[in-house]
Amino acid sequence: MAAALIADLRSDTLTQPSQEMRQAMAYAEVGDDVYGEDPTVNALEEHVAALVGHEAGLYCSSGSQTNMLGVAVSVEPGFEVLAESRAHILRAEVGAHAALAGVTSRNWISPDGTFCADDALALVSAQERYNIVGTALIEVENTHNFSGGRISDFGELVRLREATRELGVRVHVDGARLAHAVVAGEQSFADHGSICDTLSICLSKGLGAPVGSVLTGPRDLIERARYLRKRYGGGMRQAGIIAAAGLYAIEHNVDRLVEDHESASRIAEAVAAEAPEVIDPSVVETNIGILRVDRIGAKAADVAVAAAEAGVRVTALSPTEVRFVTHLDVSAEAAGKAAQVLAEVVARSRTAV
């Protein structure tokens, strides 16, 4: 029989809205947002835009939608966006950019998820050539989900910004978990806003809102995104009810992310103590850890099942990788217990290699 649940570390999207957040939602002032008359949506859009130093914001249903619109406003059909090979826009948005916006893509490869501007710049193709696809946009994910929540080096982002400005190529940052980079690093939200044209921030990842993301950028691009959102069926009416949760999340749940980072480090250290080849704790910079269980001769799916039976839920990200994610609903105490359980499961999973 499976043990009682100790911690659900499959994703930071699993959080439940707190009582205070529900209270904020229940009493939110609302209006028809397609008319631009929802005061809570307007406040959220203005708040996030001001935070990152951009002119305007657009509240959307998901991070996929903000990315989709962020790409679509900068890339004409038939032109391309460049991104890292495991970027969420390439792997986890079910082909939206190609299927709905006619955007093509190429990728560079960063095995450890760190960002090097030259990798991206080496792929840029001039837009005026008649026989080759032109590059309109470079997308950078910060933090980088599938490589274990890695933070992009800010100096490299500044270099990218300077070089792309000269090339006439725009930059979109998928900052689904940008708050994690802010809390763990030395740059502010506004610093991150300064190195891109458009930026997407999720309110439902780690920050604990039940739904929603905000796209920010210059006013003309955001108005274009608002128009396209309506075309895709994403116009919302009294959305202040959910936007209130987003405002609450961004006002109350950013600083505490350091606790999630500490919990993730603690889990990584416990596992590394049993099996150092599986994870290097020094690369766990935020709230995500990737366990390379193939290095102890184990299969990711088997490790995930064994962990679940012992009370800790994790994700088999690929046949070789198990991902754990810490969040608002995993206390430091639960993370401590989960660390022990995962370390034991990994130790038991070792086979001769």
Ligand X SMILES: *Cc1c(COP(=O)(O)O)cnc(C)c1O
CA–CA separation, 349 vs 353, rounded Å? 12
Selected from 15, 17, 49, 63, the binder of ligand X by CB under 6 A is 63
β-pair type (288-292, 321-325): antiparallel
- Least distance CB 163 / ligand X (angstroms): 23
* Contact in structure between 161 and 195 (CB atoms under 8 Å): yes
The token pair at 325 is 């994610």
Return the residues of window 191-230 that contact ligand X according to CB under 6 A.
Answer: 202, 205, 213
Q: Which of residues 176 and 279 has its CB atom nearest to ligand X in the complex?
A: 176
Closest to 289 (Cα-Cα) out of 255, 314, 307, 258: 314
Q: Which of residues 214 and 298 has its CB atom nearest to ligand X in the complex?
A: 214
Told to check if 145 binds ligand X by CB under 6 A, we report: yes
Q: Which of residues 134 and 193 has its CB atom nearest to ligand X in the complex?
A: 193
Selected from 18, 32, 47, 62, the binder of ligand X by CB under 6 A is 62
Told to check if 149 binds ligand X by CB under 6 A, we report: no
Told to check if 64 binds ligand X by CB under 6 A, we report: yes
Q: Which of residues 13 and 238 has its CB atom nearest to ligand X in the complex?
A: 13
- Least distance CB 184 / ligand X (angstroms): 16
Q: Which stretch binds ligand X (CB under 6 A): 57-65, 150-158, 239-247, 250-258?
A: 57-65
Told to check if 174 binds ligand X by CB under 6 A, we report: yes
**Residue of this chain nearest to ligand X (CB atom):** 63
Q: Which of residues 75 and 341 has its CB atom nearest to ligand X in the complex?
A: 75
Q: Which of residues 200 and 349 has its CB atom nearest to ligand X in the complex?
A: 200
Q: Which of residues 40 and 143 has its CB atom nearest to ligand X in the complex?
A: 143
- Least distance CB 175 / ligand X (angstroms): 8
**Maximum Cα interatomic distance, the chain, rounded to a whole number of Å:** 64
Residues that contact ligand X, how many (by CB under 6 A): 12
Q: Which of residues 119 and 269 has its CB atom nearest to ligand X in the complex?
A: 119
206 Ramachandran zone, left/alpha/beta (phi>0; psi -120 to 50)? left
Write the interaction track for ligand X spanning residues 75-114; mark x where CB under 6 A is met and - where it is not.
Answer: -------------x--------------------------
For CA atoms 43, 258, 62, 172, the dihedral sign is: positive
The token pair at 3 is 């043990």
* Contact in structure between 297 and 353 (CB atoms under 8 Å): yes
Distance of CA 260 to the CA centre of its chain: 15
Burial of 170 (0-12, 13-18, 19+ CB in 10 A): buried
Contacts of range 49-52, beta carbons closer than 8 Å, 24 or more positions apart: 49/214, 49/216, 51/189, 51/190, 51/193, 51/250, 52/189, 52/190, 52/192, 52/193, 52/199, 52/201, 52/216
Told to check if 176 binds ligand X by CB under 6 A, we report: yes
Please state at what angle helix 219-231 crosses helix 63-72, rounded to 10 degrees: 120
- Least distance CB 251 / ligand X (angstroms): 20
- Least distance CB 213 / ligand X (angstroms): 6
Closest to 291 (Cα-Cα) out of 322, 315, 261, 325: 322
Q: Which residue ranges make up the site for ligand X (CB under 6 A)?
A: 62-64, 67, 88, 141, 145, 174, 176, 202, 205, 213
